[in-house]
Amino acid sequence: MLPDDTALATVRIAIAGMVYLILDALMVFLIRNWVVTLLLIQGQLAVTVYLILRFRRSGFLMATCLNGLALIRQIYLVRTGGSIGGLNARMAMTFYIDAILAGSLLAFYAMRNAGNYDDALKKKELITKAYYQASVSEEQLWKKNQELEKSNKIITDDREQMYRLAYIDPLTQLPNRRKFQIDLDQIAASFGVSGRPFALAFIDFDNFKSVNDTLGHHAGDELIRYTGFLLSKLKNTGDSLGHIGGDEFVLIIRQKMTREEIRTYIDYIGKMVRRPVRLGEATVSVSASFGISFFPEDTDHVPELMRFADMAMYQAKKSGKNQIRLFQKSMNDQLVRETRIIQGLKGAIGRNELFLVFQPQFFVESGGLRGFETLIRWKSAEFGMVSPGSFIPLAERNGMIVQIGKWVMRTACKVFKQVQVQYGFLGRLAVNVSPVQLMDPGFIDDVKQILKETAFDPNCLELEITETSLSNSVSVVMQKMDMLRELGIVIALDDFGTGYSSLSFLQQMPIDLVKIDKSFIDKINQDMKSNQFVSSILMIVRQLNIPSLAEGVENEWQRDFLRLKKCDIIQGFLYGRPVTASGVLRLLQPPDGGSAQQMTGVSKK
Ligand code: C2E
Ligand code: CA
Ligand code: CA
């Protein structure tokens, strides 16, 4: 019986008891017919049986109480010689004894079975409970399942998101460096099975920085995004494209093509990339340099393949940008040599292998000595004389130029301090400053420190910065130039005409001297166009009221042309090659022992 039924059972037992007592009362007070009495007693017996069978232990207890009471009454009646319901008391008693005996017997069997019954009941209860729970849990299960499905979707979405974060470049939606690397490894690994060679192309914008600087990073991003889209449209099906950072893209060319066909394919891509693009208000056209390496022809080692393509791309940049270069073994040899040169350069200052030479500059009109440009030399025990043209770019690339540049400035100031003291020389001492050095955060402090240390007059110091310096953050460069000028230092713009800086820079920048690059001077009197170009520059510079210097003047025609076009200063082998410090002293000390050549500095703008 379930606990909820206990109250109901009590009520039923009570009702059965009442029926029993009513039957008894009928016999005692109403009925005088022994047949009816017998029937009533049968009724009481039926109640007894009902109680025992239906309610077992508690039923038996109740039935025994009722029958016991009736028995006691019967005993009393027997003793007093009374009767009940027209029935002899003794006779009636036998019925009650019968009832008690039968009831006990019944109870005995009922109890025996009760165990089984209880078990069954318990089992039933358990089954009911289990069933109930099962039905509940089925619902829960369904809910759980739904939740699971939901979280599963979240996990899948997350996984996708994580995949995107790990492998997809957010700007272009192309595979990033990591993913590209994995793809490349896989393609290379499959070569063993497929036997299909492939090529790897590195694509890098030329002067991308200028887009960022002039139009802002947003425009730069837009250009990258657009190019990613363009490249993915232009590439052949089956080729894999990746954006591995900054303005660098990579392409795995898997279509079977000859080297020449690949060159044509890339050439076409280059042409399309160069086409003008509208970025906000502005329309820009940016070229790119391409480097290609071949698997397994150049190497079957993936990292090397990447390095080779990069090397070829670097070579394309070095030879004037906007070009395609296929990797050649000599490039690698060159890299090995370059690495050795860098190694050698590291100890060059300590081994006293570096020294300075100074090239004189002369006023065109007066012919007087204007000053000297400091040029570095490296006499290496291992490589012999190494030209600055080859080691300076390497030093710039690995940052060593900062240390070397400081050494040059300090040494030059020391030498010229002595020259100033000994000869009263008040001309300019020009020192080249690499763009890397200029951008170094400690640059201005270094200059101050050197001036203090050497007691060199800053008004005599001229720093030559190249046009490439201007491709760095213009505001930072301007600020540094202003700080230098506040110290009294003169700024010269070196290699003018070779960079991409426009004439408008000349107006904005605090520049005290423009040095026209040797390449233009070389062409003087060779063709009309070059003559025109040089005279135009000279005219504009004069209009801006900036003095001009022509570099690399080697012959009289050049000098005469420059004089005619009113160039202010000349520097070149025609007038003087670079000389060592003692050469400078000789130059300042005329052979007759008289006074040093008379000089005057270029006045500031
Ligand atoms: P640059 O600053 O344009 O220096 C002028 C170069 O032209 C020097 O070459 C000089 O020797 C050479 N030159 C001058 N007149 C003539 C001429 O009439 N004919 C010919 N054929 N050449 C002439 P150099 O010394 O080999 O230097 C090459 C470059 O290396 C320099 O070009 C400069 O960019 C860099 N450099 C040299 N010394 C330093 C330095 O101390 N620091 C930095 N950052 N760069 C330096
Ligand atoms: Ca120079
Ligand atoms: Ca120059």
> What is the domain-level CATH number for residue 248?
3.30.70.270
Claim to verify: residue 408 and residue 545 sit in the same structural domain: yes
Does residue 337 lie in a domain region?
no
Distance separating the N- and C-terminal Cα atoms of the chain: 114
| pLDDT given at position 592 | 60
Confidence of residue 225 (pLDDT cuts 50, 70, 90): very high
Claim to verify: residue 419 and residue 487 sit in the same structural domain: yes
Q: Indicate whether 563 pLDDT > 60.
A: yes
Give the domain-ending residue among 72, 100, 132. Answer: 132
**Cα 525 to ligand 3 centroid, rounded to whole Å:** 20
Q: Are 452 and 410 a contacting pair, CB within 8 Å?
A: no
Q: Which residue's entry shows tokens 């490439």?
A: 468
Q: Indicate whether 429 pLDDT > 50.
A: yes
- The structural domain count of the chain equals 3
| pLDDT given at position 2 | 42
Q: Tell me the CA distances in angstroms from 573 to 465, 559, 577, 578, one per residue in order.
A: 22, 11, 5, 8
387 CB near ligand 1 (under 6 Å): yes
411 CB near ligand 1 (under 6 Å): no
Claim to verify: residue 387 and residue 424 sit in the same structural domain: yes
Note the pTM of the prediction, 2 decimals. Answer: 0.61
Confidence of residue 605 (pLDDT cuts 50, 70, 90): very low
Q: What digits encode the pLDDT tens for the residues 57-72?
A: 888 888 888 888 888 8
376 CB near ligand 1 (under 6 Å): yes
| pLDDT given at position 142 | 86
Cβ–Cβ contacts within 10 Å for residue 569, how many? 23
Claim to verify: residue 468 and residue 545 sit in the same structural domain: yes
- In a 3-state reduction of DSSP, which class is residue 369? strand
- Eight-class DSSP state of 206: S
Claim to verify: residue 230 and residue 97 sit in the same structural domain: no
Does residue 531 lie in a domain region?
yes
| pLDDT given at position 172 | 95
Q: What digits encode the pLDDT tens for the residues 305-326?
A: 999 999 999 999 988 899 999 9
Rg (CA), the chain: 54
Residue of 463 and 52 predicted with greater confidence: 463
Q: Indicate whether 123 pLDDT > 90.
A: no
C-alpha 114/C-alpha 121 separation (Å) is 9
For the CA of 573, the closest atom of ligand 1 is 18
Confidence of residue 340 (pLDDT cuts 50, 70, 90): very high
Q: Indicate whether 251 pLDDT > 90.
A: yes
Confidence of residue 153 (pLDDT cuts 50, 70, 90): confident
Residue of 501 and 333 predicted with greater confidence: 333
Does residue 158 lie in a domain region?
no
Which of the listed residues 358, 377, 410, 432 should we mutate to test ligand 1's pocket, taking the one with most ligand atoms within 8 A of CB? Answer: 432
Q: Indicate whether 3 pLDDT > 50.
A: no
Q: Indicate whether 593 pLDDT > 60.
A: no
Q: What is the DSSP string of 499-540?
A: SS--HHHHHHS--SEEEE-HHHHHTTTT-HHHHHHHHHHHHH
C-alpha 110/C-alpha 63 separation (Å) is 14
Does residue 141 lie in a domain region?
no
Looking at the CA of 467, name the nearest ligand. 3
Confidence of residue 185 (pLDDT cuts 50, 70, 90): very high
**Cα 200 to ligand 3 centroid, rounded to whole Å:** 37
Q: Indicate whether 98 pLDDT > 70.
A: yes
Q: Indicate whether 234 pLDDT > 90.
A: yes
Does residue 137 lie in a domain region?
no
Confidence of residue 486 (pLDDT cuts 50, 70, 90): very high
Does residue 475 lie in a domain region?
yes
Average of per-residue pLDDT values in the chain = 88
| pLDDT given at position 591 | 59
Does residue 347 lie in a domain region?
no
Q: Indicate whether 556 pLDDT > 70.
A: yes
Looking at the CA of 437, name the nearest ligand. 1
- In a 3-state reduction of DSSP, which class is residue 252? strand
**Cα 494 to ligand 2 centroid, rounded to whole Å:** 6
Residue of 2 and 238 predicted with greater confidence: 238
Domain range for 107 is: 7-132
Confidence of residue 596 (pLDDT cuts 50, 70, 90): very low
For the CA of 554, the closest atom of ligand 1 is 18
Q: Indicate whether 137 pLDDT > 70.
A: yes
Claim to verify: residue 403 and residue 321 sit in the same structural domain: no
Q: Are 464 and 494 a contacting pair, CB within 8 Å?
A: yes
Residue of 473 and 490 predicted with greater confidence: 490
Claim to verify: residue 409 and residue 494 sit in the same structural domain: yes
21 CB near ligand 1 (under 6 Å): no
Mean pLDDT of 528-543: 90
Q: Indicate whether 599 pLDDT > 60.
A: no
